[in-house]
Structure formats: structure tokens, C-alpha cells
Amino acid sequence: MRTIISIQWAMASGKTTLAQALEDAYPELHVYYENPYPIVQKRKELELDIRTEDGFVENQRLFIQAELERFRHFPDGHIILDRGPEDLEFYTLHYPQVHGYDWDMEFRLKTELEALRRCRSDLILYLRAPDHLLRERRDADQTRTRQSFAQHESLWKLEENWFERFPVHPIDTTAKTLEQVRQAAVHRLAVTGILGRENEI
């Protein structure tokens, strides 16, 4: 038996940092990090242009196939995801809309989306922070390039509404230290029985 917990929201909201903190503190958790780079490289090799409908469809097909494959190989136990399948579905459906494209992704990727919707998180830790703080964190992080940050900004408000349909626990990270964010996450995982109460400090 396995339980899927995904950490969601915008770039620079602290998803990877929280996942690393949970992994360091609780080695019994299975933590998986977002890694889009193999697909990005494949996209370059195939010369896909995501500004075209066919290019975007093929790009998202690659991402969805990779996510399905990832889910097939998860072990039993508690799984922590730095982003989950709900985020991929959202981006697939809303990226064209936000950029003014009238592309019917429900039709073009019907089979893939149906398969993706069978991969769901049991709990979503949804990290919140104001836009200006996300930009500050992005600018301060010299370890990662965030070339698509501006593209994702236009999706944030839509994304908040999208995630209301899922089992979401919001964590406001605005004035919290990493340890405070970790403790908020641990508390929620304890309340739901994913971690024992003894893990709370």
C-alpha cells in the first residue's frame, strides 16, 4: 500500500526545499523530485515548438508518459512528490488558454489525460506566498535557472482555483522559516495519520 503526498504551487515557493527537509528528517519517506530536463532535451532533439498546437501536444504527451511511468514504479509506503500529476494536468489544459490559443487538449490528449487522472495525490501540501516574495526568492536562488518563471506567473491565479477540487492543505510560507514550514507540513501529515504524532515537536 502506498500514500501519495505532493507539494504544489508556483516556482520558488519552496517545494523542493520542503521535500529535502522532509527527506532529511524522515528517511522512511520516499521522496521524488521534479526533473523536467530529460523531456526538455527530448523536445530539443525532436525540434518541437510548444508555440504550435502539434508541438505542444507532443511535448505534453512526453511529460504525461513520463509521469505514468513514474507512478508505475513507485514502491509501497509514503511517497513525497515535488509537484504531482494534478499540476501536469493543469498545465496541459491551461497553458494554451492563458496564451490565447484555442487548442482542444481534452480531445487531442484524451487517452493520455484519462490515464493521468487515474494517478492522484492522496494529500497536497499547497505552499502559498505573495507574488513579490516569489520573485525575490527566484532572484536570490543562484543554483537554478528559472527561464519559464514569467510564463508561469500568468497561471498562478488559475492554479489556485484549480487545486480547490483536490484534497489540499495550504501552508502560508510568507513569514515562516524553513523549520516552521517543515513543522507545519509534519503536523498535517501527523493529523492525517501519514506520520505518527511522535514525529511532531
The domains of the chain are located at 2-193
Q: Which comes out higher in pLDDT, residue 72 or 190?
A: 72
Beta strands 30-32; 123-128: pairing state: unpaired
Q: What is the mean pLDDT of residues 176-185?
A: 88
- Given a cut of 80, is residue 156 above it in pLDDT? no
Which CATH architecture fits 2-193? Answer: 3-Layer(aba) Sandwich (3.40)
Beta-sheet strand order (sheet of 77-82): 30-32, 77-82, 2-8, 123-128, 168-172
All three cell numbers of 165: 477540487
Confidence at residue 86, expressed as pLDDT on a 0 to 100 scale: 95
Non-local (6+) Cβ contacts of 65 within 8 A are 112
Confidence band, pLDDT 50/70/90 cuts, at residue 198: low
Quick: pLDDT tens for 138-155: 666 555 554 554 556 667
Q: Are 9 and 172 in contact (CB under 8 A)?
A: no
> Tell me, what amino acid is at 149?
F
Does the pTM exceed 0.85?
Answer: no
